[in-house]
Amino acid sequence: MENIELMLASAIRLAIPMAFAALGEWIAERAGTLNISVEAMMLGGAFSAVMGASVTGSAEVGLLCGIAAGLLIAFIHACFSHRLTVNTYVVGLTLNVLVLGLTSFLLVRTVPIQTEKLTIPVLADLPVIGPALFDQRWPAYLLILLIPLGYWLVHRSRWGLEARASGESPQSADVTGIDVNKRRRQALMICGVLAGLGGAHLAIAEVGTFNQNMTAGRGYLVIAAVIFGGWTLRGTLAGVLVFGAADAMRLALPALGYELNPQLLIATPYLLALLAMTFFAKTHRGPGALGAPFVRGIT
């Protein structure tokens, strides 16, 4: 029982940074943008959060710096993809490589700073799920607000209706007066805010410092989680938990005395991501215009 509790706690802890980014990626993809640069947003958010926290001595300021970095990367991506109509995949991959190079080049010694833990009384004492869900660093609890807010924004607000129309049938949306590329830019910048927060949480809530390439492909796992979930919010979050559990097993199995190939353990989350994209991309239908650029008058 104790091992199960530890595994569950580890899985949720590893899934939380991806959950922030996955919520943003889901919003961006529902608006029609396959945001490859989510990895850059998370990595830039992690680096900026640690630098901001180290300079100011405040973890909260660090979180804001991480959000700002994610937003900046999203703004750059949006300008190139939806103003200059540059191929969004090329822009995303370029930003990923650029941010990886910049953060590696600018890496300096920083003061370790972490956000405070917040333990919810009574709930944290529940068997199995209590420590995993209710004994976390305080930014993790923002998901309790952000997840229903994201669902409401996409499925219950006028903005969400216009964003979904931009992802499904941009030409039809344009005829009704919707500024398709504006909605896509806005969705992408929401993704930047949330992915930057996810990277910041990883750096100053979980680790307490910045390491070179510390996101290690989590942004790509986030994209796979959205596909795994069939472009639904609950499915996306389930995918994040699956990948978090795979990552937790990679860390926990050797500690429990199981001798497995370490390279195979490291590859496990990414193998799951490949399987998810292989099976679920065919069985679930994504937004009709996902990844397709919109130019007015061109069908």
How far apart CA 294 and CA 178 sit, in angstroms, is 12
Q: Pick the range with the lowest mean pLDDT from 19-23, 206-210, 292-296.
A: 292-296
pLDDT top residue among 97 and 265: 97
Would 182 be classed as within a structural domain?
A: yes
Length of the chain: 299
Please count the structural domains in the chain.
1
How far apart CA 252 and CA 282 sit, in angstroms, is 33
Task: Write the CB contacts of 148 (distance below 8 Å, at least 6 apart in sequence).
Answer: none
Provide the pLDDT for residue 129.
82
Mean pLDDT, residues 209-233: 90
In degrees and rounded to multiples of 5, residue 135 shows phi and psi of -135, 70
HSE (side-chain half, CA atoms, 13 Å) at 94: 11
Would 293 be classed as within a structural domain?
A: no
pLDDT top residue among 259 and 293: 293
Would 285 be classed as within a structural domain?
A: no
In degrees and rounded to multiples of 5, residue 136 shows phi and psi of -125, 165
How far apart CA 199 and CA 62 sit, in angstroms, is 11
Would 155 be classed as within a structural domain?
A: yes
Task: Give the CA angle between residues 187, 193, 198 to the nearest 5°.
Answer: 125
The top-scoring range by mean pLDDT among 3-7, 215-219, 259-263 is 215-219
Q: How far is CA 29 from the centre of its chain?
A: 12
Provide the pLDDT for residue 23.
97
Q: Please give the mean pLDDT across all residues of the chain.
A: 88
Would 261 be classed as within a structural domain?
A: no
- Give percent above pLDDT 70 in the chain: 92
- Give percent above pLDDT 90 in the chain: 54
Would 183 be classed as within a structural domain?
A: yes
Would you say the pTM of this structure is higher than 0.85?
yes
Question: What are the tens digits of pLDDT across the range 105-140?
Answer: 888 777 778 888 888 888 888 887 888 888 888 999
Task: Give the domain range for residue 211.
Answer: 2-116+127-216
Would 231 be classed as within a structural domain?
A: no
Helices (H), the chain: 2-30, 38-56, 59-78, 88-106, 129-134, 142-155, 158-168, 170-175, 180-201, 218-228, 233-255, 262-283
Question: What are the tens digits of pLDDT across the range 94-104?
Answer: 999 999 999 98
The top-scoring range by mean pLDDT among 3-7, 12-16, 192-196 is 192-196
Mean pLDDT, residues 42-67: 94
Q: What is the DSSP string of 125-137?
A: GSTTHHHHHHEEE
Would 175 be classed as within a structural domain?
A: yes
